[in-house]
Amino acid sequence: MQLFVGLGNPGAKYENNRHNIGFMALDRIADEHGFGPWRSKFQGIVSEGDLGDDKVILLKPMTFMNLSGQSVGEALRFYKLTPANVTVFHDELDLAPGKLRCKTGGGHAGHNGLRSIHQHIGETYGRVRLGIGHPGHKDRVAHYVLQDFAKSEADWLDDLLRGIAKGAPWLALGKPDRFQNAVAQAITPPAPKPARPESMKTERPPKPAEEAPDETRSPLQKLVDRFR
């Protein structure tokens, strides 16, 4: 069994914030793979389903970002899982918009949701880092992450979420590289092979036109030429 955790803040006010991209990722997985209805549990909401042959619990903490670890810790103890069975989807300032990277363990880099999870289950869980870009200065970060995604970002955001849903079974199997490949293909589909133009056929240069016979010769000259 795997526990996939999406980070965000509850309520319509925050629904489309950059900080809520973790919630969005889990919603897309649930929709695309026919997971069960969301229900309240573990100070959050959960949805259960299968990814390939693996049972997966999706958890969205409703504690607000700074207390996410309370919800994750409860779920972990209830299902008797270890941090190795947990994957957290979260926004990442240090990745360009639309980029995605997987990692296991490491610090929280100032992310308040990860900081809280560290406090409750340690740091040896998996993460899916979802790039949202950086506003350019640390003083603007708090405002930036609590802003809605701009309309101009809709295309890459949809591509990213579609790729996450497509590749989720690989993540459940413990194959993050295959998962990342599936996401990359959704964001940058392979370019179609160009059709071979007919002009590539080998063309031979036209034969020079035969010269017209010189009719300026006299009858005597023509007779002499016949016996040469």
Per residue in 111-140, pLDDT (tens digit) is 999 999 999 999 999 999 999 999 999 999
Average pLDDT over all residues of the chain: 89
Rounded CA-CA distance 113/226 in Å is: 106
- List, in sequence order, every residue forming a beta bridge with 101; answer none if it has no partner: 129
Q: Token pair of 216, please?
A: 């300026």
> How far apart are the C-alpha atoms of 47 and 164, rounded to whole Å?
17
**pLDDT band at 165; cut points 50, 70, 90:** very high
Active site residue 19: yes
Tell me which residue of 6, 40, 9, 3 sits closest to 26, measured CA to CA.
6
The domain spans of the chain are 2-187
* Contact call for residues 57 and 36 (beta carbons, < 8 A): no
| Least confident span in 126-135, 161-170, 187-196 | 187-196
What confidence score (pLDDT) does residue 220 get?
Answer: 61
Distance in angstroms between the alpha carbons of the first and the last residue of the chain: 102
Superfamily of domain 2-187: Peptidyl-tRNA hydrolase (3.40.50.1470)
Which one has a higher pLDDT value, 212 or 11?
11
- Picking from 114, 117, 10, the residue whose alpha carbon sits closest to that of residue 62 is 10
Average pLDDT over residues 162-177: 96
User: Among the residues of 83-190, which ranges form H helices?
Assistant: 112-121, 141-145, 154-172, 176-187
The string of pLDDT tens digits covering residues 12-54 is 999 999 999 999 999 999 999 999 999 999 999 999 999 988 9
Distance separating alpha carbons of residues 104 and 119, to the nearest angstrom: 16
**% of the chain with per-residue pLDDT over 90:** 78
Confidence of residue 79 (pLDDT cuts 50, 70, 90): very high
Tokens of 61: 């903490």
- Residue 110 has a pLDDT of 87
Q: What's the confidence (pLDDT) of residue 20?
A: 98
Polymer length in residues for the chain: 228
Q: How far is 193 from 12, CA to CA, in rounded Å?
A: 44
Q: pLDDT value at position 109? A: 86
pTM of the model: 0.82
Catalytic residue of the set 19, 33, 90, 111: 19
